[in-house]
Amino acid sequence: MTQEPIHLGVISFAHGHIHRYIPEIAGFDDAQVVAAWDADEQRGTDNCAKYQIEWEANLDTLLNRDDIDAVFITSPTNKHAEHCIMAAQAKKHILLQKPMALSLEDCDAIIEAVNTHGVKFSMCHQMRADPINQKIKALLDENTVGNLAVVRRRHAIPALLIPEFARPDNWHIDPVQNMGMFMDDASHATDWFHWMLGRPVSVMAEIDNIVTDIAPDDNGVAVYRFENGIIGILLNSSTQLAAQSTTEIYGDKGTIQHDYGDGPSSHLPANEIPLRMYQQGSEQWQTFDFPVVPHHTRISAVPRPLIDFLSGDGDPLATPDDGRVAVEMVLGAYESARTGQRILFPL
């Protein structure tokens, strides 16, 4: 018996990743995007026409449609809690764009709504959909490089150097709608660290405007300590044009290096080996057979595991608790940068 396709709605076209999700889903046999709402009517109607889906002028009308099973929530971050609560009350499953929210209170409100109304929920954390990151996770779970000492992960983009992004009306650079670029983009890397290493116990950070004054911050470095003593170094930049090794993992029995894991490294290829590992006693690096892919390929990979999850064939890409931890790690870094102090978790 053929299962009925999952029918999806879209709450806001504000976040650009939805423009990767919808075309990808168009090629699926088991899912279909059918309708959308947006607080910006012109943006909403233009995109509904572009993707040939129905426009709903009222959010309640969208959420009350019987032919919608789940919604992508890709609205400005300060609206995530409001929109998640409305979707949960309408018994619609939720696929939420990162970051989960701008405060732990809003994260908790989302979690309460999901639990109260019994809907499925997944964050759209793209790092977890990347086959190379999945391989790194397996290598660490298998203890292939021994006891870890230092893990460095960079997540960078050149966005604030691009006039189209840096325009004054872009909600991404509005402190009310999105807090700052470290919140907006470092949440990818905080989720990656949590996925790989577990919850941190403390953080020290520097986050500031170094070369621009367009957004509340443009560059930041956070140093996390984890329960087993591992030092995690997160570098987030919104002004980086080119880079190479996205990830360096140093253990007492080996090293893992990963290239092409963010925008600058994918934009300007330096070699053709995305993932390599050195193990104690070896005479050369071991390489793995992964193709070099553009950064947007990771974004396009997000919908497939989400549809499998909604269909009952897999787990969420990232749970509500995962989403909350990623936000808590960012907020802790901001607090450390503000106070000049080491900040302990939980906040």
DSSP assignment string, 81-95? HHHHHHHHHTT-EEE
Helices (H), 17-69: 18-25, 41-51, 59-63
Per-residue pLDDT, 269: 67
Q: Per residue in 79-90, pLDDT tens?
A: 999 999 999 999
Evaluate if residue 309 carries a pLDDT over 70.
Answer: yes
Name the band, by pLDDT with cuts 50, 70 and 90, for residue 276: very high
Per-residue pLDDT, 1: 41
Domain ranges of the chain: 6-119, 127-295+328-344
H or E element at residue 129: none
CA angle in degrees (0–180, nearest 5) for 171-174-178: 80
Per-residue pLDDT, 267: 79
Burial 18-28 (b: 16+ CB within 10 A, else e): bebbbebbeee
Q: Span 182-211, mean pLDDT?
A: 98
Name the band, by pLDDT with cuts 50, 70 and 90, for residue 3: confident
The C-alpha torsion from 13 through 8 and 115 to 137, rounded to 10°, is -80
Q: CA–CA separation, 163 vs 57, rounded Å?
A: 31
Q: Which amino acid is at 293?
A: V
Question: What is the 8-class DSSP label of residue 37?
Answer: E
Q: Span 28-52, mean pLDDT?
A: 98
Name the band, by pLDDT with cuts 50, 70 and 90, for residue 266: confident
Per-residue pLDDT, 237: 98
Q: Span 304-312, mean pLDDT?
A: 97
H or E element at residue 120: none
Q: Span 71-84, mean pLDDT?
A: 98
pTM, rounded to two decimals: 0.96
Is residue 166 within 8 Å of 158, Cβ to Cβ? Answer: no
Of the two residues 271 and 212, the one the predictor is more confident about is 212
- Whether the CA torsion 46, 51, 56, 62 is positive or negative: it is negative
Percent of the chain residues past pLDDT 70, beyond the cut: 99
The C-alpha torsion from 195 through 257 and 345 to 204, rounded to 10°, is -150
Evaluate if residue 46 carries a pLDDT over 50.
Answer: yes
Name the band, by pLDDT with cuts 50, 70 and 90, for residue 211: very high
The CATH number of 6-119, from 3.40.250.10, 3.40.50.720, 3.30.1440.10, 3.30.360.10, is 3.40.50.720
Is residue 329 within 8 Å of 343, Cβ to Cβ? Answer: no
Tally helices (H) and strands (E) across the chain: 12, 15
Closest by CA position to 250, among listed 150, 163, 347:
150
* DSSP SS3 for 303: helix
Name the band, by pLDDT with cuts 50, 70 and 90, for residue 272: confident
Q: Which amino acid is at 327?
A: V
Question: For the structural domain made of 127-295+328-344, what CATH number should be given?
Answer: 3.30.360.10
Radius of gyration of the chain (CA): 20
Residues 6+ apart with CB under 8 A from 207: 180, 182, 217, 219, 220, 221, 222, 333, 334, 337
Q: Span 288-305, mean pLDDT?
A: 91
Closest by CA position to 69, among listed 134, 15, 4, 22:
4
Is residue 301 within 8 Å of 129, Cβ to Cβ? Answer: yes
Q: Span 301-322, mean pLDDT?
A: 97
Name the band, by pLDDT with cuts 50, 70 and 90, for residue 95: very high
Q: Please, what is the end-to-end C-alpha distance for the chain in angstroms?
A: 49
Per-residue pLDDT, 270: 66
Residues 6+ apart with CB under 8 A from 70: 6, 7, 8, 9, 92, 93, 94, 95, 120, 310
Name the band, by pLDDT with cuts 50, 70 and 90, for residue 299: very high
